[in-house]
Amino acid sequence: MRGSHDPRYFPRLDEITGAQALIVQHNAVFGRLERSVKSFTVGTVEPHADDTRSVTVSFEEPRKQMRSSVTMVPDDTRYLTVEVAGRRSTTADRMCPAI
């Protein structure tokens, strides 16, 4: 079992919530969209529209007071990764846990 001391360990999103990070949205049409954020939170897995699962990631960009958010659903057009201190975690880990 891998732990946080293992360099191969990728933290779950809820373990790194709130830290300064780089949020990267990987999109099949627009490519890679990066945002540097000063804080973020990850919501719980909930139904959204026609999808049975979704995750909302809220974040605050530097020098801005309003929070923004993006809702990710498990499809093949886009996914989101959060990079904190060189470690990466993805929304797919949150929506599709290993069985």
Judged against a pLDDT cut of 70, whether residue 9 lies above it is answered with no
Listed residue (99, 97, 79) closest to 10, CA to CA: 97
**Rounded distance between C-alpha atoms, residue 8 and residue 22, angstroms:** 19
Q: What share of the chain is helix, strand, coil (3-state, %, to 5)?
A: 10, 45, 45
pLDDT of 99 strictly over 80: no
Which uninterrupted H or E stretch holds 62? none
Mean pLDDT of all residues in the chain?
A: 76
pTM exceeds 0.85 for this model: no
Measured torsion, CA atoms of residues 77, 82, 87, 88, in degrees rounded to the nearest 10: -20
pLDDT digits (tens, 9 = 90+) for 64-88: 889 999 988 888 788 888 888 777 7
Domain ranges of the chain: 13-81
Return the higher-pLDDT residue of 18 and 36. Answer: 36
